[in-house]
Structure 1
């Protein structure tokens, strides 16, 4: 008699694997998520080029071509992103406090930067005469430079508020509530500090751009490292925000 047919065992995915795949999907679904991965690859390439890790000229040429292509791709990916900043600017237009004023500078500078970047992309893509590219880039760099001054100022104010919240929380009588809220505030504080580091790194690159790469703090290796640091922090923040 033939042996009874056995039903193939069904594959049951491990919960952790499913969660990580869902989280990756959520990350890649975000425009900023893809942008930061491109930014990481671009500045990693720039670091290799600047540090002369490989003496092979063909390889360096390929890396330069790759880095340049990724840069243009990032500009295309951010098409229309200026609207996000301008919408934030409208919300802080009342200027009731110093924080509102600095937030307006941050949003306005960022919005103008992304708006001008669209013309940089069009010039690099060949739709606009390439001779205008450097002029657009310079205008965008100044907008970005001013925007980061506002952004850093706002985040320092936020850090101060978090510190005040932590002080007030010490008087909480319920120990469990106090510990839970303290953990939340400490995590929030850490992310805010990372954001400040990221802004300083981006500000450094904008500072170099407005000076056309001349003067102190314009070493290609230094700027590439700052770009990679900024990209890694931003990618981490987006990853944390992606709940599986």
Structure 2
């Protein structure tokens, strides 16, 4: 609910959505599918990529990703329509910018909470978590930057095809450079006793090689 509300605020204000959401919005304007279906299809593709990154065929992870994005995609479309109906775009620009940034912080807060609980994750955030703990030594900021490469490439492709960009603005730039830091901040300050559970399978611990002992113990 927190995550869907945050994304919907960024989409409705049209001042820059989270990077993955912005890429889905641009795809949505490229083909006749609804935003809900576009978000769902993007989630499925990322869920498949997650299994490739973990090098493990985990149906629990894949089905968990689908379990998240099915209601999530619907709620984003529903909440966006409600927020637009309330007339958010009639508000002064400063208020809309603040609202957009608030939406970004909601996304960061939600991501921090459910990544640590690690029960069911959005595929995009699972993707970021896999990069963070399997390949980037737990660094949230760098992991967030790296996991933004695919949606940036998608937006570049849609822009070359249509000549237009949607849902890309100041909020997108904030997400691109600071969302990982926001998540790291909430990791430390929101529900402090909630740790990162179930990441042992993601971390790669090198075996300790001890020198062989001689027969006389020397």
Which structure has more relative contact order (CA 8 Å, sep 6+)? It is 2
TM norm structure 1: 0.22
TM norm structure 2: 0.24
Computing the radius of gyration from Cα coordinates, the structure with the larger value is 1
